[in-house]
Amino acid sequence: MSFIDYNLPVLIVIVPLLGGLLSVLWGTLFGPRRDLSWGWAMLVAAAELALVLKMVGTVVDSATGSVVYNMGSWPGPWGIEYRVDYLNAFVLLVVAGIGAATILFARHSVHDEIPHDRSHVFYGVWLLCLTGLVGITITGDTFNVYVLLEITSLTSYALIAMGKDRDRRALLAALRYLILGSIGASFILLGIGYLLMLTGTLNMEDMHNTLIAIPDLATNRTVLVAFAFLLVGLSLKSALFPLHMWLPGAYTYAPSAISAFLASTATKVGIYMAFRFMYTIFGRHYSIEVLPGHLVLLACAAAAIIVPNLSAIRQTEVKRLLAFSSAGQIGYMVMGFALANEDGMTGSIVHLFNHAAMKGGMFLAIGAVIYRVGSAHITDLNGLGKRMPWTMGAFSIGGLGLAGFPLTAGFISKWYLIKGCLTAGYWYLAVLVLFASLLAVIYVWKMLERIWFTEPDESTAHIKEAPPTMLIATWGLILTSLYFGVHAEFTVGMAQKAAAFLLEVTP
Amino acid sequence: MSVLLSFAGTYNYAIYIILMMIGFYGVIAKKNLIKQALGLGLFSTGLFLFYISMGVFDGGTAPVWRAVHEGGHALKDAGPYDNPLTHVLILTAIVVSVSTLAVALAIIVNIQRAYGTIEEDEIRAIEAGLHPEEEVA
């Protein structure tokens, strides 16, 4: 076994960590060089994607479906353990893929939106944010989750606030996110604290085994308190309705590439944490059968697919519209995993991937519009299909995917979700999912009508197609979503194995 | 009486909740952004107290070897000691909390530069005047 093979899980975290620090160090020592910073970040993100692809291959090839790495060769529960199974491998793929695509896109966009002398800090912080996200996903230690969560959060507050040169409201949005995010993270830490008190361990698997051995688990109040704190904290972090109010502002005013990056990764990793805590640590028996935790989540998810989608219809700022739509899509993912059956969870996990690709592509397309037009008010879209056909083509395909048209990836995830609802006997939820898709059709159509069926204004004659790096990144994500909309074997296969794994190891 | 006794044994936990709630009140009710950030700091201080209280054992000391003399022989004995794990964890959480405050204050400094005020009401009024049709972040 070569060095890289053996240390693969930890390299996935170390590469962007060192990459980010070096970017800041280099820029501070030798002066900021924008293209050099970008090239370095691109190199690190590409290396990260290669490592993650190798990791996914290792997990798929392994006999047990999970790879364990002991930090410093100290075995768990004493040492910190990294544990990669189908679920994290899949989420890692989403995070690293989106990271590479958005950094590729960022070259011109950052040139436009971030002051020259701060580009090296910007890319450095961005790579640190990537570190936090892959770290949360890969670790098997609960305190590690908290620390890496805070790395992700702190860097994303800074990244969002860097949108201040385009619109000063970015500062308010970042501060609001900071306050709510810190409270959410504190709740998560409190929940972990109560679990530590009870089990004396921080290792996820050990924690689960100790928890289910507690004789009065069903009535134990400490476990209940831990569960409640974790549920609220994770809902805040993954922007589940009604705790989503930080999200629209943060995604609207962040720099374009950061909007795309955070919208497709941060909340997804939040959902992933909820999966881990509910199924791997508390276990299906406790979360679903002892406590009606899933009923609370189902109610919130049902509201989440309706209310933010209704708000999205009213929006006139395209980025804000997409942000509200993201808050709505979170509802689908939460609904899938709260159904606690294989189809529902498959739908939820597949939707993590599909939504990241579609929404990431749409945010990137809007980033290209901001680069060329200067703003992204809905009236700026008038006739833009004639000026920027490729960008708008990608945007439209992404939009159709959001609404769940057949042949797009959104169709696959909704198909499994509705199947899951029907299996669980909640036919009215299936109806609600279809209704929410109609809402998505309304706001997508509102934009498509302006793009393709309105004559462009003479004053926009100077607007050209977006530069090639932007187009490659945007189309890369959109084609991924199209490909996996038709050939869903890989994504659905991974998701089904992950769902089966979560439901099986937790009796 | 038993209520009082059980309180006497766990008053650390009561204080942690009181501290957190004072901080939470500050975050929610205060309109001054610096006061909100201070509330956030107090909120996390409560959390530190919770973690530290959790590691305490009756008669516990620092986890270091002590020399115990017994019949002319020097023995090493750790005795009962407090759980050092929670202390180590909270050191990390303190660093995180300080960094969060630093980022919050940095953003507030920038808000002061951009708007000339750090009162939430005034900022909202400025933004509502400029963009009447949009919601403020």
Whole-number Cα distances in Å, A489 to A49, A347, A493:
21, 13, 5
Q: Is the pLDDT of residue A287 over 70?
A: yes
**For all residues of chain A together, what is the average pLDDT?**
86
Pick from A19-33, A100-114, A462-476, B36-50 the range whose average pLDDT is largest. Answer: B36-50
Q: Which of A172, A179, A190 sits opposite B136 (nearest CB)?
A: A172
**Does the pLDDT of residue B71 top 70, yes or no?**
no
Q: What is the pLDDT of residues A72-106, one digit of tens each?
A: 888 878 888 888 888 888 899 999 999 999 999 88
Is residue B135 pLDDT above 80, yes or no? no
The helix/strand/coil state of A63 is coil
Pairwise pLDDT comparison (A417 vs B63), residue with the higher score: A417
More confident call, A378 vs A260 = A260
Residue A500 and residue A87 in contact, taking contact as beta carbons nearer than 8 Å: no
- In this prediction, residues A171-196 reach a mean pLDDT of 91
Out of A89-98, A120-129, A264-273, A292-301, least confident range: A292-301
pLDDT confidence of residue A1: 61
Highest mean pLDDT pick, A124-128, A412-416, B4-8: A124-128
Range of the domain at B57: 2-130
Interface contact A316-B50, CB threshold 8 A: no
User: In sequence order, which residues have a C-beta less than 8 Å from that of residue A80 and are 6 or more positions away?
Assistant: A70, A71, A74, A139, A140, A141, A144
* Residue B70 within a domain: yes
Our CA angle for A79, A80, A81, nearest 5°, is: 110
| Residue A506 confidence class, pLDDT cut points 50, 70, 90 | very low
Chain A residues whose CB is inside 8 A of the B85 CB are: 196
- ipTM of the predicted structure? 0.88
B47 and A190 within 8 Å at the Cβ level: the answer is: yes
Our count of domains for chain B comes to 1
Residue with more model confidence, A159 or A220 = A159
How large is the average pLDDT for residues A44-64?
88
CB contact at 8 A, A354 and A410? yes
Q: How far is B124 from chain A (nearest CA, A)?
A: 10
Q: Do A183 and B24 touch (CB under 8 A)?
A: yes
Residue B136 domain-assigned (yes or no): no
Does B48 fall in a domain? yes
DSSP collapsed to 3 states, chain B = CHHHHHHHHCHHHHHHHHHHHHHHHHHHHCCEHHHHHHHHHHHHHHHHHHHHHHCCCCCCECCCCEEEEECCEEEEECCCECCHHHHHHHHHHHHHHHHHHHHHHHHHHHHHHHHCCCEHHHHHHHHHHHCCCCCCC
Question: Are the C-beta atoms of A251 and A346 separated by less than 8 Å?
Answer: no
Report how far residue B2's alpha carbon sits from residue A280's, in angstroms, rounded to the nearest whole number. Answer: 39
Per-residue burial over A280-306, b = 16 or more CB atoms within 10 Å of its CB, e = otherwise: bbbbbebbbebbebbeebbebbbebbb
Considering only CB atoms, which chain A residues are within 8 Å of B50?
190, 193
In a domain, B14, yes or no: yes
Is there a domain that residue B83 lies in? yes
Report A:93-152 residues touching B (Cβ under 8 A): 143, 146-147, 150
Share of chain A above pLDDT 70, in %: 99
Q: Which tokens go with A59?
A: 């997990």
Q: Which of A345-354, A382-391, B38-47 has the lowest mean pLDDT?
A: A382-391
Q: Which of B43, B92, B137 sits opposite A169 (nearest CB)?
A: B137
Token pair, residue B73, equals: 């022989």
Region A361-365: mean pLDDT is: 91
Separation in Å, CA of B99 to nearest CA in chain A: 8
SS3 A83: strand
Q: Could you tell me if A193 and B12 are in contact, meaning their C-beta atoms sit under 8 angstroms apart?
A: no
Q: What's the pTM?
A: 0.90
Q: Shortest Cα distance from B67 to chain A (angstroms)? A: 28
The token pair that represents A56 in the structure block: 């996914």
Confidence of residue A49 (pLDDT cuts 50, 70, 90): very high
CATH number at residue B9: 1.10.287.3510
- The C-alpha of B69 sits at a distance from chain A's nearest C-alpha, in angstroms, of 33
Note whether B110 contacts A189, CB cutoff 8 Å: no
A147-151, A351-355, A457-461: least confident range: A457-461
pLDDT at A507: 37
Q: Within the 280-319 window of chain A, which residues sit less than 8 Å (CB to CB) from chain B?
A: 316-317
The reply to whether B45 falls in a domain is: yes
pLDDT band at B37 (very low <50, low <70, confident <90, very high): very high
Evaluate whether residue B135 is within a structural domain: no
pLDDT in the model for residue A133: 93
Residue A227 · residue A187 · CB < 8 Å: no
Asked if residue A309 has pLDDT above 50, the reply is yes
Return the pLDDT at B68: 67
Distance from CA of A359 to the nearest CA of B (A): 21
Please determine, for residue A22, whether its predicted confidence score (pLDDT) is greater than 80. yes
Task: Note whether residue B137 is domain-resident.
Answer: no
- Cα angle B30, A234, B99 (rounded to 5 degrees) comes to 55
Q: Do B123 and A196 touch (CB under 8 A)?
A: no
Name chain B contacts of A252, Cβ cutoff 8 Å: 137
Region of A317 (left: φ > 0; alpha: ψ -120 to 50; beta: rest) is beta
